[in-house]
Amino acid sequence: MVVRDLAKLEGFTTQYMDEGNEEIVDAYAGDLLSDVMGNAPSDSVLITIQAHKNTVAVASLASIKALVICNNRSTPQDMLEAAKEEAICVFTTKDTQFEASCKIAKALGKV
């Protein structure tokens, strides 16, 4: 799947997206950014509740292409500006991390 396919998932709202052409091959769920930094696979989407600009920096370091911010948390402006700069797409959803992960797993063909 590509990043823009995430925008089509039910209940996902696009906060920042470029063309959304980047390929996504995997996903990682986590809120401890040190763990994300060490273990998230490249070319993945991160499912998290950490809605701040440090998440973008960590995503960039770990070659994560997109962030899905769960539990209806809002994304601050400085986070979205950082996302634009690092070309990392950001989506929000009311879903829990589990619900969002299920939808993404299905879209990735992993279940």
Partner 1 sequence: MRAVIDLHNHSCLSPCADDDLTPALLAIEAMEKNIDILALTDHNSARNLEVFSQACELCSILPLFGLEVTTIEEVHVLTLFPKLEDALEFGTFIEFLLPPIKNKPKLFGRQLVVDLQGEVLQEIDLMLSSATSLGFSDVMEEALSRDALVIPAHIDRPANSVLANLGFLPSYPYSALEAIHPHMIKQKQNLCVLTGSDAHSYDQIGRRRCFAELEECSYEALKDALKDPRNISYQI
Question: Using CB under 8 A, which of the segments 1-9, 27-35, 39-47, 101-109 binds partner 1?
Answer: 27-35
Residue 13's DSSP bridge partners are 92
Residue number, 4 or 52, with CB nearest to partner 1: 52
Longest CA–CA separation in the chain, Å: 35
Q: How far is the CB of 60 from partner 1 (least distance, A)?
A: 6
Q: Does the protein bind partner 1 through residue 96 (CB under 8 A)?
A: no
Q: Pairing mode, if any, of strands 89-93 and 12-16? A: antiparallel
Secondary structure string (H, E, C) spanning 49-86? CCCCHHHHHHHHHCCEEEEEECCCCCCCHHHHHHHHHH
Q: Does the protein bind partner 1 through residue 38 (CB under 8 A)?
A: yes
Note the residues at the interface with partner 1 (CB under 8 A): 32-34, 37-38, 50, 52, 54, 57, 60-61, 86
